[in-house]
Amino acid sequence: MSRARKLDVKTSLPPDLAGYAPVCDAITLLFQPYAEVVLHDLSTETVVHLSNPFSKRELGEPSLLHEIDFKPTDIIIGPYEKVNWDGRRIKSVSAVLRSGEKAIGVLCINVDVSHFHAVMQTLTALVAVPQSPEKPASLFKEDWHERINEYIQSWTRERRLTIAEMSRAQKQQLVTDLAGDGAFGGRNAAAYISRILGLGRATVYNYLKRDQA
């Protein structure tokens, strides 16, 4: 590539790239304040439009497209990761703009993902449960709800099923297996199981009677 020529920041956009400026602004407006869009003119290898600049880029400065391993034959470059001036992580993708077969510009979208990493860390900390060898016996000794829940989750997971997609025959088999494991020993256990499986209590009792017959 030829050496970039610095544009006067007041210079208007080249006609063949002017139509992309509203696209840049629309992207940043939609993802405000997390996205920055940089438009590069390949004829001068300079930045000709900035929308929501948070990377301290300036109009007219060299594009430095070699940093993203740009080649004129590229169509989409990335996504790739960068580090912003303040240490924040940036996820980026670049699109090569063409006029016919000729590459005339590069539109780079930079998304500040540091906020999302912070949210993920917060959510991970929120849902994490300290590891212990076993559940507190004082809380779960008589909790047949918990035992039924774990049994059903294990039963469906082994068969790669969800309760929503189970057939009536599969639900009947699950009721039979639950009964064989003593799940109906708890008070109101039948009503609880019927609610989980989306069955009437009468249907659950019928399944149990058929199994005992």
Predicted confidence (pLDDT) per residue in 36-45, tens digit? 999 999 999 9
With a cut of 90, say whether residue 83 has pLDDT above it. Answer: no
Q: How far is CA 149 from CA 110, 156, 192, 196, in A?
A: 45, 11, 10, 9
Distance CA 33, CA 63 (A): 23
What ranges do the domains of the chain cover?
A: 15-115, 136-212
pLDDT attached to residue 6: 36
Residue 132 pLDDT greater than 70, yes or no:
no
pLDDT(94) > 70: yes
Q: Is the pLDDT of residue 4 over 50?
A: no
Count of residues in the chain: 213
Please check whether residue 95 is in contact with residue 37, taking contact to mean a CB–CB distance below 8 angstroms. Answer: no
Instruction: Write down the pTM of the prediction.
Output: 0.56
pLDDT for residue 9 is more than 70: no
Please give the residue that has the higher pLDDT: either 116 or 157: 157
Percent of the chain with pLDDT over 70: 85
Which 8-state DSSP code applies to residue 62? B
SS3 content of the chain, % helix, strand, coil (to 5): 45, 20, 35
Fold of 15-115: Beta-Lactamase (3.30.450)
The string of pLDDT tens digits covering residues 176-206 is 888 888 888 777 788 888 888 888 888 888 8
